[in-house]
Structure 1
């Protein structure tokens, strides 16, 4: 079955706005969001080729050398689905953007690599 890379994105300003909320409000959102995210993972875990995870700061390597960099990527998961539309459906109303300050999940087919 085809595999798709799903990349969670979050602009830095979204995170800054979330962190500017009162601590109690952040904690309340986290309490609900972590529960919903766990339920989402349980529901969709049969589709996971790689459960992925959240990521930290970026270090970019290029022909010019190595340097800190910035992007909106904050996590990933690899899912199996028949089509890219089916893969996208897995993320409909995901807590990443429905509750947390994430803005989107980008879905891309993996076109190389070993088949499952």
Structure 2
């Protein structure tokens, strides 16, 4: 079955906005979101090959050297599905975009 990389995205300004909320409000969102995330993973367990994880600040390596970088990637997951459409549909109700301030999940097939 085809494998897909799903990359959670979140704009830096949305992270900042979330972190500017009162701590109690952040904690309430986190508590609700973590429960829903676990339920999503349980519902889709048969499609998940690698739970991946959330990631921190980016370091970019180029021909010119190593520098700090900014992008919207904040985590990833590896799944399998019949096709790209089926893979994408798995994320329509994902807590990353329905509870947390994530702006999307980019789903792309592995081609090698």
Deviation above 4 Å: which 4+ runs of structure 1? Answer: none
Task: State TM-score, norm by structure 1.
Answer: 0.94
1:10 paired with 2:35, answer: no
Aligned length: 112
- Counterpart of 2:36 in 1: which secondary structure? helix
Once residues 93 and 17 of structure 1 are traced to their aligned partners in structure 2, the CA distance between those partners, rounded to angstroms, is 22
Query: Aligned partners of 1:57, 1:46: CA distance in 2, in Å?
Result: 30
Q: Which residue of 2 aligns with 1:36?
A: 36
- Cα shift readout 1:15-43 (whole Å, capped 9, x = no counterpart): 11101111111111111000000000111
- Residue 51 of structure 1 deviates from its aligned partner by 1.2
SS at match of 1:91: coil
- Deviation, 1:46, is 1.1
Structure 1: which 5+ residue stretches go unaligned?
none
C-alpha distance in 1, partners of 2:67/2:76?
A: 22
Deviations 1:58-90 (A, max 9, x none): 110111111111100000001100110000111
Alignment gaps of 5+ in structure 2: none
